Amino acid sequence: MLTYAIWNNKGGTGKTSLTFQAVCRYSEKNPTKRILVIDICPQANLSEIMLGGQENGGSQNLLAIQGMTPRCSIGGYFDARLAAPFSSANFHANNYITNPNTHNSAIPKNIDLVCGDPLLELQAMAMNTLANVDLPGVNAWLGVIDWLRDLLSQIQDNYDVVFIDTNPSFSMYTQIALAATDRVILPVMADDSSRRAIQNAFSLIYGLKLPSEVYSKYTFATKLNSAQRQLPKIHLILKNRLTQYMGPASAYNAVLSGIDTDLKTLIKTYPQHFTFNTTDEGVIDVRDFQTTGVVAFARGCPFSRMPTGKLTISGHRVQVKPEYRDQAQDAIDDIVIKL
């Protein structure tokens, strides 16, 4: 079972929409593979899209699933773990999994989903407290950080690939996600904050280029390494929301070239943290989906199954041109090829 996390400490990089489209397309291209999507974000946007989007009852479907007993979401699973934080024998993973196709026929049937949950923010405070408990003979931090790993170990024979949509943070639940991850997909934008975000990602995940050695013993990497556990590797950098008008003199192009320069240095200095050896292998340019992306998001519909022409969104008529839909699909196919 191979596990991907789509993560960036910076928000607004299009992480959720890219995850939705790439996962659906990957599932279509690999119909015999069993796919699990875990939405470990309190906003639960990915879950709402997969369950129908705003136009097809996604929000209502999500609330109904979260209202089940036990609560069928990542929050419901964490509730079970809070009651017995250091025991992995008091839960049944299937209680927290739903098949989104039963609510949204546009989603491939070979995708299952663990829904996101706003409870995560409250639970994070309890997780932090538990992770710092001093118990004889117990590594409390590792006990909590392994919660998602414990869930996956119970169902590892049921799935081939897991995709985890994360929150733009490095909170406790994000660390729990990354600790269960083999490969990280990092979406970035054509701005200086995204360039800094790549450096920040290396500080947060790998404990590199810290402002002071004082922090080194507290890092995620130090704690995982001390438990003789492998860190996830960077698998893809997605330069998202590029436009068709960006030429070599564009200010955006200058920033993106700077990102490439930074990546080349990181790959050369820390090759062990990448699954690729050159930027050509690991960096994908993704054009701006514009109206096509907004419509797909609202309808909970993969590009491959989305109609074109005049469509109604929130009572307004909008037009999706076939060539724009096809271009968006081509961009997602470029990502899927490298998964």
Mean pLDDT to the nearest integer, 159-167 = 96
What is the phi/psi pair of residue 238, to 5°? Answer: -105, 115
Q: Name which residue leads in pLDDT, 12 or 259.
A: 259
**Element at 240 (helix H, strand E):** strand 233-242
Q: Which residue has the tokens 């993704």?
A: 286
Residues 6+ apart with CB under 8 A from 64: none
Query: In whole numbers, what is the pLDDT of the chain averaged over residues?
Result: 89
Contact between 241 and 286 (Cβ < 8 Å): yes
Q: What percent of the chain has a predicted confidence (pLDDT) above 70?
A: 92
Mean pLDDT to the nearest integer, 14-31 = 94
Q: pLDDT band for position 203 (50/70/90)?
A: confident
Q: Name which residue leads in pLDDT, 57 or 256.
A: 57
Mean pLDDT to the nearest integer, 312-334 = 86
Between CA 152 and CA 156 the distance in angstroms is 6
Between CA 229 and CA 302 the distance in angstroms is 36
Helices (H), 14-132: 15-29, 45-50, 58-66, 74-83, 119-131
244 has a pLDDT exceeding 70: no
Between CA 289 and CA 29 the distance in angstroms is 21
- Per-residue pLDDT, 286: 87
Mean pLDDT to the nearest integer, 66-90 = 92
Mean pLDDT to the nearest integer, 72-88 = 92
- Per-residue pLDDT, 76: 96
Percent of residues in the chain assigned helix, strand, coil, to nearest 5? 50, 15, 35
Number of neighbouring beta carbons within 10 Å of residue 128 = 13
Hey, what are 79's tokens? 């509730």
Q: pLDDT band for position 211 (50/70/90)?
A: low
Contact between 233 and 274 (Cβ < 8 Å): yes
- Per-residue pLDDT, 93: 95
Q: Report how far apart the first and last C-alpha atoms of the chain are (Å, whole number).
A: 13
Give me the residues paired with residue 6 across strands: 165, 185
248 has a pLDDT exceeding 60: no
For residue 323, the one-letter residue type is E
Between CA 178 and CA 9 the distance in angstroms is 12
46 has a pLDDT exceeding 80: yes
Q: Name which residue leads in pLDDT, 49 or 135.
A: 49
Query: Structure pTM?
Result: 0.93
Task: Name the least confident of 77-91, 293-307, 311-325.
Answer: 311-325
CA atoms in the 13 A half-sphere facing the CB of 145: 22
Hey, what are 318's tokens? 């909008």
183 has a pLDDT exceeding 50: yes
- Per-residue pLDDT, 207: 86
DSSP 203-223: HHHH--S-S-GGGGGGSHHHH
CA distances from 26 to 171, 307, 315, 330, 335 (A): 28, 20, 32, 13, 9
Q: pLDDT band for position 291 (50/70/90)?
A: confident
Architecture of domain 2-337: 3-Layer(aba) Sandwich (3.40)
233-242 and 183-188 beta bridge pairing? parallel
Q: pLDDT band for position 259 (50/70/90)?
A: confident
Q: Which residue has the tokens 């939405």?
A: 39
68 has a pLDDT exceeding 90: yes
Mean pLDDT to the nearest integer, 39-45 = 95
Write down the domain spans for the chain.
2-337
316-320 and 309-313 beta bridge pairing? antiparallel
- Per-residue pLDDT, 133: 87
Number of neighbouring beta carbons within 10 Å of residue 317 = 8
